[in-house]
Amino acid sequence: MPTAPGPATATTPLPCPCGRPAAYAQCCGLLHEAHAAGQGLRAPTPEALMRSRYTAFVLDRRDYLLATWHASTRPATLEPPEPDLKWLGLDVKRSAMQDADHGSVEFVARSKLGGRAHRLHEVSRFVREAGAWFYLDGELS
| Tens digit of each residue's pLDDT (9 = 90 or more) over 7-25 | 555 567 889 999 999 999 9
* pLDDT tens profile 40-85: 889 999 999 999 999 999 999 999 999 999 999 999 999 999 999 9
Q: How many helices (H) and strands (E) does the chain have?
A: 3, 4
Spell out the CATH class of 24-140: alpha beta
> Does the predicted model carry a pTM greater than 0.95?
no
Domain spans in the chain, listed from the N-terminal domain onward: 24-140
Helix 28-36 to helix 46-59 angle (10° resolution) is: 70
What pLDDT does residue 112 have?
98
pLDDT band for 2, please (50, 70, 90 cuts).
very low
CA-to-CA dists, residue 34 to 29, 37, 43, 64, angstroms: 8, 5, 11, 10
What pLDDT does residue 10 have?
55
Closest listed residue to residue 53, CA positions, set 90, 83, 88, 86: 90
Find out whether 45 and 95 touch, Cβ atoms under 8 Å: yes
What pLDDT does residue 40 have?
81
Q: 47: Cβ–Cβ under 8 A, 6 or more apart, which residues?
A: 92, 95, 103, 105
Phi first, then psi: give them for residue 125, nearest 5 degrees: -110, 140
Among left, alpha and beta (phi > 0; psi -120 to 50; other), residue 51 is alpha
